[in-house]
Amino acid sequence: MLSRPLRSALPRQASNSGIVDRCRLTALPQEISEMVLAELDWREVLCIRATCKSLCSASRSRYVWRAQYQRLSDGYDTPLSAKDSTATYAELERDTLHWARVQRNWVSKSKRPTRRLACKSSAVQLHLLHGGRWLLANGRDPCLDVYDLNLMVSQPCVLIRPPDKWGERVTQYAIDERYTLPNIEVSIALVRQHAYERPGRLSIWKITNTDSDTLVARHITSFNTYTTQLCFAMDLRGDYFARCVPLLSGGRTWYIDVYNWRSSCSLIHRKTTIILNERVDTVRILPGHRILGLGEEDVRIYAIDASDFRPVPGKHPILAGPPAMPLHTLALPGLKPHIHSPLHYDRMGNAHLYLLSAEAVVKFMVPYEDRPPMDSDFVRS
């Protein structure tokens, strides 16, 4: 669907060029497409580049970004330095985005790093705790390690040991971090699972700092869970733990298990299951009994009811059912993000999430109340 500025600019340029106004933008000659894009805001141009492959070449035109730079310069009492005819599109785009960031106070002076810590690690998952000192890592051994980054030569210390010497490796963990600096209070869910075994061991720990300037971990609870495959999409928040795995090996049906871990044990689980008809790569637990699922090209929000957390046998397999309908869906066509940030909450309780793809950085907000996610902001990476 075309944006409002694009819908207004397209017929005007098509009419000026003697082209039928019902012609699609992607079917126009590139010169006309560049004239249309030149009338848009720079954010609209970046959005089109991220969502329409056919217009990528036009969005990188010198004509388009010279118009963007001139429009931005006209907004200043003292115009910006003029660009000569030798300036490339990349230079014009770079300077346009630079001054746009200055207008929005997005630019800050970056300090050169005072030191750099380098060490060898076999960890498959890293998490830097709030404050920037402690780094959690799960290595090839069945332990959870912690690095003290305040030390110039940091060696990992074992923070959580397996229940016995034959304990399996920590395949994945989820963090629920409370920002209470200088005190550290972190809940962590560890998953130990073998690739060829259905049961997976879930253990909940609480990590705090001590007066002796170290971290300690206290075990809260553990229980076995039934799963069909290794799970790498999970989240922990409050009393709830959520994970997403395929229902059948190689199938197209996925499900999200949401546990009330305080009320669960190995024999009986308090959980609810959300059946999906599309894959999600990231799961986040939201306030207000909601689950956020991030796919390759969309964001879906599902509702969970506290009354749905019924006791089920711990070894009870997941039964296929009708797919759940999401409360809200936000389409991100063509984005395919490969890096995402943790959820950040503002004072109003709204959740903010940043996504990074090869073309753009996307920020969107999920309101605290049951409302659709806000429109995305596209920023060139």
What pLDDT, on the 0 to 100 scale, is given for residue 285? 92
What pLDDT, on the 0 to 100 scale, is given for residue 114? 58
What pLDDT, on the 0 to 100 scale, is given for residue 357? 76
Mean pLDDT by 10 residues, the chain (381 residues): 52 54 71 88 87 85 89 73 77 86 66 62 78 82 82 79 65 84 88 68 90 90 79 88 76 83 87 86 88 86 84 73 85 75 82 79 81 65 44
What pLDDT, on the 0 to 100 scale, is given for residue 10? 55
What pLDDT, on the 0 to 100 scale, is given for residue 318? 66
What pLDDT, on the 0 to 100 scale, is given for residue 119? 67
What pLDDT, on the 0 to 100 scale, is given for residue 112? 56
Is residue 361 within 8 A of residue 354, CB to CB? The reply is: yes
Query: Residue 163: is the preceding peptide bond cis (ω within 30°)?
Result: no
Q: What is the pLDDT of residues 83-116, one digit of tens each?
A: 767 788 888 888 888 888 877 766 555 555 556 6
Domain boundaries, the chain: 4-100, 118-226, 244-381
What pLDDT, on the 0 to 100 scale, is given for residue 219? 92
What pLDDT, on the 0 to 100 scale, is given for residue 1? 42
pTM for the full model?
A: 0.66
